[in-house]
Structure 1
Amino acid sequence: MFSFFKRKPVLTGEDLLFQLETYKWLMKYFGGEDFFHNTQLVLPTDQFFPLRVGSSDEAVIATFAQVQVHAGMAKWPSKLIRQEHDADPHLGQTLLVKGSPSTANGTFSLREGKAYISFNPKLENNPARMVATFAHEFGHYLTCDLPEPPPGGWENWEFATDLTAVFLGFGIFSANTAFSFQQYTNTSTQGWRSQRSGYLSSIELLFALAIFCRLKGISPDIAKPYIKPTLRKVFRQCCRQVDGCDKLINEIRSASYVGAKDYKPARFE
């Protein structure tokens, strides 16, 4: 599809084509000055999240507001809603409810021009996953109601929304929280647990982040210290593939920008 790589590529075929076409779709409606001059690579630092709060509720509200600002959607009408707590799967020292229901990390709906974004209370203990979730839901807000569906149709919207979160600058958060596997211990049980967020894999999100950095002229060295150590090697491989494929970047940049003023409010105002 693209130029020959001396090293084994990270993404090929349909996976690579989806990234290309989705970036072109996003650039068509949300490129221009909003992307090249206003969008930033959001880092997990005090510069981007200068939170001084006195409670977990305040932390959630402040984080939501900061994500909205960095997405350039601070003035877009929205309301944050707390979901009900998930049921506790642990019934005792040795009893575990298999397949117990778990609420989504977040949801999005649009009613009368206002976005309603919900979040799972369990995110209060995982700020990075909270940021990634809010970025994903604002990705829904950004792209809903466009006159053109994402590549593959609206049935692919969730996958395209994962890439939209990267496009908005939150790729580090998305990649770092796409999958986790960790030990847990409480007063009665211990073991291992895994958790997924979003729809794309960490590898796909790292590749999208590599494209974002290249398009924006951002050195990958700025992102690397904030990427999980287990993912840094993959990120370097993604950057090498993107850097070695000018045709990919040039094709994304060639997308004709038409803007979204007929469908969306102005951003970064």
Structure 2
Amino acid sequence: MISGFKNTLLNIIKTQPVVDQHSEAWILDTFLWVYQEFDGDVLLNDMRFVLPNAEFFPEQVSSIEQMASYVFTQVKQYAGMQAWPIQLVAPHQISEQSFPRLEFANVKRGESAELIAASGSLNISFNPNQINQPQDLIASFSQSLAHINVLQNRSLPPGGQEFVPQAVDLLSCFMGFGVMMANTAYQFRGGCGSCYNPYAKRSATLNESELIYILALLLKAKKLPLSHISSHLKPHLRTMLKRANKQLENTIKQSANPMLIALTEVK
């Protein structure tokens, strides 16, 4: 009897959508908004799924400051923002600042991006508590860079101003940091008293399910299999990714949006 109930429960979970209809519609609309507003072809062509391993972060460092500086430099490069006047400063050096006007010759990101005018520079900092949790640090840096992109663009996402934080998370995934974003979206607060440090956690706006759906969408747009990233996700997220992919495929079949179909069609 218990076994039968367990199987029934598992079947219900498997048939439930990963994201509800409203969230799915917003993700798809915002994905297309990001593509149109943020050099989508450059992002998709150049973007790599940044993974938490030595291939992407090969160097060893010996201090908090070196760790923060090294990770920031790597994240900035993978985000294609080498040309942007953004510096990392110590937490005690950060202060309120005005957003500068930046002008680029052509594209804004990637190796071919060329900054031709800037009214100033930007400073961002880091949370020292995240040094021992590098995925949180990487995801936090990527969120900061994505937020700067949204501010520079000055175009509101679907849903308007109140959806800017969610759009920042989606853009961070679009820039290649979705694996870390998904892995750090939920943090278990139980266990022994010394295991959980709330100050080390990043601020998550989109939840695990929404971020996994975005990852499935990006894999589809990049024409890559789920196996490209699945082994780097938390175990329960791997199953969720398969379900998200099935939901996405069904949605695409029913979609009449030519841009979505073109971006995700198998070639």
- For Structure 1 versus Structure 2, the TM-score category normalised by the shorter chain is 0.7 to 0.9
Q: Distance in 2 between matches of 1:196 and 1:133?
A: 6
Q: Does 1:149 align with 2:156?
A: yes
- The aligned residue for residue 70 of structure 1 is 78
**1:120-269 equivalent positions in 2, closer than 5 A:** 120-183=127-190, 185=192, 197-247=203-253, 250-252=258-260
8 A contact 2:50–2:56 mirrored in 1: yes
Larger helix percent: 2
Give secondary structure in 2 for the equivalent of 1:244.
helix
- The aligned residue for residue 51 of structure 1 is 59
- The aligned residue for residue 79 of structure 1 is 87
Q: Distance in 1 between matches of 2:140 and 2:194?
A: 27
* One-letter amino acid of the counterpart of residue 207, structure 1: Y
Give secondary structure in 2 for the equivalent of 1:169.
helix
* One-letter amino acid of the counterpart of residue 136, structure 2: R
Post-superposition shift, 1:108?
9.1
Give secondary structure in 2 for the equivalent of 1:245.
helix
Q: What RMSD over aligned residues (CA atoms) do the two structures have, in Å?
A: 2.6
8 A contact 1:183–1:190 mirrored in 2: no
* One-letter amino acid of the counterpart of residue 171, structure 1: G
Post-superposition shift, 1:190?
5.2
Change in Cα spacing, 1:211 to 1:109, as seen in structure 2 (3 Å) is farther
8 A contact 2:140–2:202 mirrored in 1: no
Identity %: 30
Alignment deviations for residues 95-125 of structure 1 (CA, whole Å, 9 cap, x no partner): xxxxxxxxxxxx9973444222122111111
| Total equivalences in the alignment | 225
TM-score (norm 1): 0.75
* One-letter amino acid of the counterpart of residue 166, structure 2: F
Change in Cα spacing, 1:192 to 1:71, as seen in structure 2 (3 Å) is closer
Post-superposition shift, 1:234?
1.2
* Consecutive unaligned residues in structure 2, runs of 5 or more: 1-13, 101-118
- The aligned residue for residue 108 of structure 2 is none
8 A contact 2:146–2:171 mirrored in 1: yes
8 A contact 2:139–2:202 mirrored in 1: no
Q: Does 1:39 align with 2:47?
A: yes
Give secondary structure in 1 for the equivalent of 2:153.
coil
- The aligned residue for residue 264 of structure 1 is none
TM-score (norm 2): 0.76
Larger strand percent: 1
Post-superposition shift, 1:244?
2.6
